[in-house]
Amino acid sequence: HIAVILLAAIVFLLVLHHNILGLSDVLKSEDSDPSRLVPQNIDSPPDAPRKVHEEGPGKEVAVVIPAVEDRLGGLIAAINSISSNTEANVVFYILTTNDTKEHIRSWIDNTDLKRVKYKLVTFDARVLDGKVRVDSGAEPVKPLTFARFYLPDLVPGLKNTIYLDDDVIVQGDIQDLYDTPIQTGHAAAFSEDCDSVTSKSLLRGAGNQYNYIGFLDYKKERIRKLGMKANTCSFNPGVFVANLTEWRRQNITKQLEKWMELDVVEELYSKTLAGSITSPPLLIVFYKRHSIACRF
């Protein structure tokens, strides 16, 4: 009898835990609470010997991260979380728009961040003209949100990079993420939103926020014609590793732009978007064409 109660309690806690995580995903765009934690690296328990990087501090680990003016606290928290957990030679490429660049620069000079290696990169928001649907009454989406679609243009000299949203806290060594193997022919590695336990047993029927159908309008012919399974697990657009060589070769940016433009005309995204507005084009373009990054 007690065992049954105990089991029920555990299941309840798991569901609660998952719901909280899910909720914070939904709130991500409004709320940049830096306490939202990225799950720990399951591959390296805390007592495991720390990986030694033979190549020393010379090899650059590039991290691209947006600096949105009204949540700079999140930016600091994210950068500090990376710097304090790694010995790697991390260089941050901090994205700004033309009109906020000078403000961000002077602001950084007055914070601890001036001690990390960083470069300011300007994202020209004009490339988004005609590509972002503005729903009447809705808060306009910040242009920097879409900068991740243009990675190869933003950091033209780089072959590989990590992209990170400014509301992510990294608890593991960023080097491990950077070293994520990306399959030949894949341009990026993402971590998927669902794992076998939550998707198969506990949350069956409890909504579809971790599936493609939570992001795309399957009533639209154009979406159905893609033949993507509606229950495919979605992935997190807030953290990924990209092979920019492959990204350029496959014209990923062009493909993403195509789906943005189509959405403006045909409203292809789910009305009750289950997460980031940047998810739908990424889910389409990278359907069965991305590697898996471990949760870290």
Ligand X SMILES: *[C@@H]1O[C@H](CO)[C@@H](O)[C@H](O)[C@H]1NC(C)=O
Return residues touching ligand X (CB under 6 A).
98, 124, 160, 182, 243, 245-246, 249-251
Nearer to ligand X, 100 or 270 (CB): 100
Nearer to ligand X, 87 or 124 (CB): 124
Q: Cβ 249 to ligand X, closest distance in Å?
A: 6
Give me the amino acid identity at 236: N
Give me the amino acid identity at 32: S
Q: Cβ 219 to ligand X, closest distance in Å?
A: 29
Nearer to ligand X, 215 or 240 (CB): 240
Nearer to ligand X, 216 or 242 (CB): 242
CA 115 to chain centre: 25
If you write DSSP's letter for every residue of 219-235 in order, what string do you get? TSHHHHTTT--TTPBPE
Hey, CA dihedral for 19, 199, 236, 47, is it positive or negative? positive
Rounded Cα gap, residues 67 and 73, in angstroms: 10
Rounded Cα gap, residues 58 and 37, in angstroms: 29
> Which distant-in-sequence residues (6+ apart) come within 8 Å of 122 by Cβ?
95, 96, 97, 98, 101
HSE of 114, CA atoms in CB hemisphere, 13 A:
8
Q: Cβ 186 to ligand X, closest distance in Å?
A: 8
Q: Cβ 250 to ligand X, closest distance in Å?
A: 5
Q: Cβ 92 to ligand X, closest distance in Å?
A: 20
Nearer to ligand X, 57 or 185 (CB): 185
Nearer to ligand X, 81 or 161 (CB): 161
- Reduced to 3 states (helix: H, G, I; strand: E, B; else coil), residue 238 is strand
Q: Cβ 48 to ligand X, closest distance in Å?
A: 24
